[in-house]
Structure 1
């Protein structure tokens, strides 16, 4: 019965896996790596302690019965335990990890968003298979509402929320809870991407996250026309406030004190303006002054001050004229009386 048995090393692998020889104390090793079971699925809130496990409802892990753990422990599976959830009636699938093995026999409890993704109603059958997914390196997500922009630090919030997930599947719309508000986020792309499962594992991996604009977000327009000049800015501002063209400072033409040759210059300026509209010739410019040496021009006539003799004569004539005395009049009246 124990032919070809190695007595020197009774626990050698050759004794355990030899088809002709079986050690009496050899463990029951099942080379099969496949776990496939069907369960009645229910949302986590329908568990006995589901109301106290609200955080589990916003994650990516399921709860299986104790018998599933016993079967998985007999298989040569890889860790962490990842599962492929299949709704054969609607040909939908997703992936999940396992949180605990405390469900009733024949039942499996799933987060609400996972039930919606698979199109399942409470009590329907769900096929659960163990699987292996590659470690993810990139994921692109899209919030399903502009309310996600109200979060001050979305990167930190998302990093904390993804700790409750073991996998991400392309096309899924997951749910996270922040400040008692539920946000839906859709998975637009994952890398590496394999067509057979379209899922990645995010356990102990460096994951690059890219955000797409939320659904309903409109990019604000920033096209502001630049004014041509400061005077145009003042004119536009007054026009918008009053509805009529306003006053423009320094608007108009100037006058020159020198009229010599002005008519000829205006004629030349009009000819040049008609030939070249962009000419910089100014008709009000009289050209440079050719003044004698030592003479200055201030733009107005210079009136020299009057001489000192004129001022003296004018001052000497001040208070000129004959005065009247009341005493004299009294004297004359006395003389006449006598």
Structure 2
């Protein structure tokens, strides 16, 4: 396993990590979660990603059970939660979602209980909240930092301008700004990581914990001949994702990428994940495997990304044809 610092922070993360969005509770039970997290840890993965909203809090409960059973040294792994959506879903009451000081702090306490840990290594604002001043968010996060309940805080799907505003507020009051952002990043979604955030990597040392390297499994080729019943896009409630991803243009690109992966002697998933890892501004790529065989295969990208020569990268660019404008 290889490790990278989270931006300019002192924290080191494995270049691939393991997350539970859509899988834990829905596709992965306690026995399988134990096997998946155990294998990931044994392969050197040290970051496990979660959020209050995943499966209405059940994902964190499941991960917490596994962590308690494993009895790994707490200093040997990094765990996260995210705050914004709440865990009650449509039944959320006014202060049970968003980024008010009240919800940020209460959601942290709830996440600690579900995960059965004393502190969160990483705590993300899962989305920006236009109803709450960013100054309130910065002060609330620093309150948790001072209490030792979180070690680093960051954002997910915020704009560069919003992240910079948070840093300016933190600097003004002698506080700590966000250390990391969790953006989507894959061969079909590149704008933020490759263009919008470019000034932030140097100026504030932004780290990135990128999600969806396989574009919700589109970049595995599994949807080339239809939607398998047990797949993510076959789950109820994900119709919006299916309509967004499964376009004729995307499927044609995936088929061309599959041929390139075959020529390289690897799976399309390994090629796609390796392409993400090769970006030096990516601190870690979050994997979301629901089967042990998937996780075993996807981790191969850690070795393969060194073999992505310029010639292969040029062929990839010719196929996807979506490099962000400078």
TM-score (ref. length: structure 2): 0.18
Higher helix share: 2
Of the two, which has the highest radius of gyration?
1
Larger relative contact order (CA 8 Å, sep ≥ 6): 2
TM-score (ref. length: structure 1): 0.18
